[in-house]
Amino acid sequence: MKFLSVITLALLLVGAFGKRHEVKPSSAGHRVKLQRRNIGMQEMKAASQSRAEQIHAHAARRGLQPHGARLKTTPNVPMLNYMANGAYIGEVSIGTPQQKFSVVYDTGSSNLWVPDSTCNNFTISPACQIQNRYDNLTSSTFQSGCNVSSCFLFLPYGSGTVLGELSTETVTVGGLSLPETPFGRVTMEPGNISEWGAPEFDGILGLAYPLLAMPLMSNLPGPFDEMMTRDIVPQQLFSVYLSSVENDTSSYVHFGGIPTDNYHGELVNVPQDLLQPELGYWCISVNAIKVGDVVQPSTSGIIGVVDTGTSLIAGPPAVVNPIIAQINASTDCSNLASLPNIAFTVALSWSQSMDFVLTPEQYTFRVKFQDGSPDQCQCGLFAFDAGEGLLPLWILGDPFLRSYFAVFNRGNNTLSFAPSNPKH
């Protein structure tokens, strides 16, 4: 654990909690529609585990893990990992003329990545065979970005190695054209097709802070940083609405504005966790987690990573497993009506907090079958085992964001939430 001097800490606190301002609801800005895809529970769990390992490994690289902490994986787990959930997919275009890709709009990473046309050994990279791949030869705005010292990416990945190159291109997001935006062309995707999310999506568009961008320490700007730098968004923020309905396309990321038609009540401004500047994720401080009215043990001082790219709400097994057992959601959905709510008590300031409540319908997944067989329900909480003595990190993934419309404010480094309007 890094120790901050009392004065630095005090300054940070003033920075985090002292600035109060109203964010302005306004539907100006640029929208990318997202489609909700149904993915299997096993894939969701595997991807959540992998994201959790990335976050903990990143915290270790930053020297933030408590002394004596033991990670299950190596601290070299790369940030480039396609093994994302792909539950909410949107379009991005790269090149001139535009080449279209389906990507995960991911607040838990910071690069734009797509497969490259040179990813063409389908024995090694089976996923590349069915994904859309970027072709530099047909684009007039391609710049290789390579020089003697490199643009080459070499990343350990699960069973194999991911190779890629950094280049720049005209990237078009939500109708906004962003010339000379850095992006990664993946030239090798070893391993299982399902690990890569193919054919559901081609790549990832990261919306976290540049601190997380690959290569490490590059602070490479992602598309939203490019929008801010070029001053083409009305406000330095984006809003996220995630619909609960499968295949529905009313979900969105809205750049530069706050549409008002998908939430009710007031937007509540939430400062980020004190470690946010070191972590680079979007993260809030959670003071407690309640099941019904009962505060669960070991749920104070939690850092909640707000992540569109994770399909579950994930936390350490010692805390999550007893909660799952208590809730005891039956797979036939028969006891859903009698299950308790789960509440995340989120810090709004030193002295104030607010419960963000999720109902059973919100924290469980209900799978409907075409053939008329009964629905199945599964709890949307997941226990990941990332090691021992680690920072108390939780991932507040899609079940949280389906319940709360969210504004990710880079201008003020805050988040704002309001209850989402359910879509029927």
Ligand X SMILES: *[C@@H]1O[C@H](CO)[C@@H](O)[C@H](O)[C@H]1NC(C)=O
Binding status of residue 337 toward ligand X by CB under 6 A: no
Q: How far apart are CA 200 and CA 189, in angstroms?
A: 15
130 neighbors 198 (Cβ within 8 angstroms): yes
Query: Residue 56: CB partners within 8 Å, gap ≥ 6?
Result: 65, 71, 73, 386, 387, 390, 391, 393
Total binding residues for ligand X by CB under 6 A?
31
Q: Give the footprint of ligand X on residues 150-209 (CB under 6 A).
A: 151, 192, 194-195
Using CB under 6 A, which of 12, 46, 69, 336 touches ligand X? 46
Query: Residue 195: CB partners within 8 Å, gap ≥ 6?
Result: 46, 82, 83, 127, 158
Query: Residue 235: CB partners within 8 Å, gap ≥ 6?
Result: 23, 24, 26, 29, 256, 257, 258, 409, 411
Binding status of residue 48 toward ligand X by CB under 6 A: no
Q: Give the footprint of ligand X on residues 304-333 (CB under 6 A).
A: 328, 330
Binding characters for ligand X, 268-307, by CB under 6 A (x = yes)? ----------------------------------------
The SS3 assignment for 80 reads coil
Binding status of residue 19 toward ligand X by CB under 6 A: yes
Smallest separation (angstroms) from ligand X to the CB of 264: 21
**Residue among 182, 179, 147 at smallest CA distance from 167:** 182
Binding status of residue 18 toward ligand X by CB under 6 A: no
Segments of 69-175 assigned E as strands: 70-71, 88-94, 99-106, 112-115, 152-157, 160-173
* Window contacting ligand X (CB under 6 A); options: 107-115, 121-129, 345-353, 390-398: 121-129
Binding status of residue 106 toward ligand X by CB under 6 A: no
Q: Is 135 a catalytic residue?
A: no
Using CB under 6 A, which of 67, 68, 140, 147 touches ligand X? 147
Binding status of residue 246 toward ligand X by CB under 6 A: yes
* Cβ nearer to ligand X, comparing 328 with 373: 328
Q: How far apart are CA 37 and CA 89, in angstroms?
A: 7
* Cβ nearer to ligand X, comparing 136 with 345: 136
Alpha helix ranges (H) inside 5-40: 6-13
* Window contacting ligand X (CB under 6 A); options: 7-15, 16-24, 200-208, 374-382: 16-24
Strands 393-396 and 302-306, bridge-based pairing: parallel
Smallest separation (angstroms) from ligand X to the CB of 137: 5
User: 202, 273, 307, 398: which one is catalytic?
Assistant: 307
Q: How far apart are CA 404 and CA 311, in angstroms?
A: 15
Using CB under 6 A, which of 5, 149, 338, 351 touches ligand X? 149
* Window contacting ligand X (CB under 6 A); options: 17-25, 59-67, 101-109, 382-390: 17-25
Using CB under 6 A, which of 123, 140, 338, 352 touches ligand X? 123
Cα-based angle 196, 52, 295 (whole degrees, multiple of 5): 140
Q: Is 307 a catalytic residue?
A: yes
Hey, what amino acid is at 29?
G
Q: How far apart are CA 94 and CA 102, in angstroms?
A: 11
* Window contacting ligand X (CB under 6 A); options: 97-105, 139-147, 307-315, 358-366: 139-147
Active site (catalytic) residues: 106, 307
Residues that bind ligand X (CB under 6 A): 19, 21, 23, 42, 46, 117-118, 121, 123-124, 136-137, 144-145, 147, 149, 151, 192, 194-195, 235-237, 246-247, 328, 330, 335, 409, 411-412
